[in-house]
């Protein structure tokens, strides 16, 4: 019964901290201090991995590693989220009781009750309202709960998986076929979040666009090729709020070079709220923006 231990690659996988960072922290801060196996290679005991995971979580919430590592163990109380500025309260004001109820079903791990409640809401509100007033605020809500540490990883996965299904099911009932504009929907590598993409797809399809969903994490080269092959009028990318904002301008820059001249580039999602305007790229921080952008496109492409 050897207690399990983790090599550096396993720790990178489980914590999301790169090997470079793990070695650098050890050098700089004296934590983590893994054992060494027969080949002199790092071998992390589970407690240290657990602590690293906690630290990473708090870092994602806006804390700084130097402080966190210095804190002994009562950091558990430092769970207070920092980034969650109470700014984007747009449509869901007052309804957060309802959101809390939905979230509670997830936390009770009752998937079928959650699905049922959501399907009821969809039937009552209609797809557009359902997305804008329920799914979008709920997704934000979940993101905040996650940052605050009040949601387990697997609970977030369950939420995402079930909500994906709801949206895809709703999309499949919409008319398909050749319509205008033709929009390729995807996300860049390192951006695995798909819910924003699905919400956008549903709204755009409702507006009469032909959506070509390519899933997440397309290499930039391939996005260019796909736009060409599908003769896309628009390439729409989704960036979640968790995506590092500083990387976005560079990615959009590179991509705009790779796209055919006939394709527009749209970038939406919580990740682009604070990105500066760029030539050749349309920024759509909210779902409303996406809807009105379609109207704009129609006006200029008779």
Partner DNA sequence: TTCGAAAATTTGTCCTAGACAAACTGGATG
Partner DNA sequence: CATCCAGTTTGTCTAGGACAAATTTTCGAA
Using CB under 8 A, which residues numbered 12 to 31 contact a second copy?
13-14
Report the residue from 2, 4, 27, 173 that binds DNA according to the rule CB under 7 A: 27
Half-sphere exposure of 117 (CA within 13 A, CB side): 19
42 binds, among DNA, a second copy, none (CB under 5 to 8 A by kind): DNA
Q: Residue 13 or residue 157: which is nearer to DNA going by CB?
A: 13
Report the residue from 127, 138, 226, 282 that binds a second copy according to the rule CB under 8 A: 226
Interacting span for a second copy (CB under 8 A) from 88-96, 154-162, 269-277, 286-294 = 154-162
**Residues whose CB falls within 8 Å of the CB of residue 292, separated by 6 or more in sequence, listed in order:** none
Least Å distance between CB 36 and DNA? Answer: 7
Query: What is the torsional sign of CA 204, 209, 214, 220?
Result: negative
Least Å distance between CB 36 and a second copy? Answer: 19
Q: How many residues contact a second copy, by CB under 8 A? A: 51
Q: How many CB atoms lie within 10 A of CB 83?
A: 13
Using CB under 8 A, which residues numbered 39 to 58 contact a second copy?
49-50, 53
Cα separations (Å) of 84 from 89, 141, 244? 11, 10, 15
Residue 187 is a binding residue for a second copy (CB under 8 A): no
- Counting runs of H as helices and runs of E as strands, what totals does the chain give? 13, 7
Cα–Cα distance between 199 and 135 in angstroms, integer?
A: 8
Beta bridge partners, 42, equal 36
Interacting span for DNA (CB under 7 A) from 35-43, 84-92, 99-107, 194-202 = 35-43
Q: How many residues contact DNA, by CB under 7 A? A: 22
Cα–Cα distance between 220 and 243 in angstroms, integer?
A: 16
Cα–Cα distance between 63 and 82 in angstroms, integer?
A: 8
Least Å distance between CB 133 and DNA? Answer: 32
Q: Residue 38 or residue 94: which is nearer to DNA going by CB?
A: 38
Q: Residue 53 or residue 165: which is nearer to DNA going by CB?
A: 53
Contact present, 228 and 260 (Cβ < 8 Å): yes
User: What letter does residue 49 receive in the DSSP assignment?
Assistant: H
Binding residues for DNA, per CB under 7 A?
Answer: 7-9, 18-21, 23-25, 27-28, 39-42, 59, 64-67, 246
């Amino acid at each position: 019964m050897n207690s399990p231990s983790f090599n550096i690659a396993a720790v990178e996988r489980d914590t999301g901290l790169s090997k470079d960072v793990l070695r650098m922290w050890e050098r700089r801060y004296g934590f983590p201090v893994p054992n060494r196996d027969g080949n002199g290679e790092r071998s992390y005991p589970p407690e240290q991995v657990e602590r690293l995971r906690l630290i990473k979580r708090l870092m994602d919430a806006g804390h700084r590693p130097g402080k966190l590592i210095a804190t002994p163990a009562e950091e558990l109380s430092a769970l207070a989220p920092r980034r969650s500025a109470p700014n984007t309260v747009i449509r869901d004001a007052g309804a957060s009781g309802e959101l809390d109820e939905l979230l509670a079903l997830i936390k009770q791990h009752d998937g079928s009750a959650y699905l049922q409640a959501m399907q009821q809401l969809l039937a009552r509100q209609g797809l557009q309202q359902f997305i804008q007033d329920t799914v979008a605020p709920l997704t934000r809500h979940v993101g905040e709960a996650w940052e605050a540490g009040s949601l387990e990883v697997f609970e977030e996965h369950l939420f995402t998986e079930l909500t994906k299904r709801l949206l895809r099911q709703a999309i499949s009932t919409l008319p398909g076929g050749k319509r205008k504009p033709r929009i390729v929907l995807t996300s860049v590598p390192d951006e695995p979040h798909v819910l924003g993409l699905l919400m956008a797809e549903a709204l755009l399809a409702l507006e009469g666009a032909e959506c070509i969903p390519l899933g997440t994490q397309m290499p930039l080269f391939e996005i260019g090729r796909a736009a060409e092959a599908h003769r896309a009028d628009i390439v729409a990318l989704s960036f979640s709020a968790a995506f590092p904002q500083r990387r976005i301008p560079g990615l959009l820059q590179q991509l705009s070079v790779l796209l055919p001249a006939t394709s527009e580039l749209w970038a939406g999602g919580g990740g682009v709220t604070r990105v500066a305007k760029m030539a050749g790229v349309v920024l759509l921080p909210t779902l409303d923006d996406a809807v009105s952008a379609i109207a704009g496109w129609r006006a200029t492409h008779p």
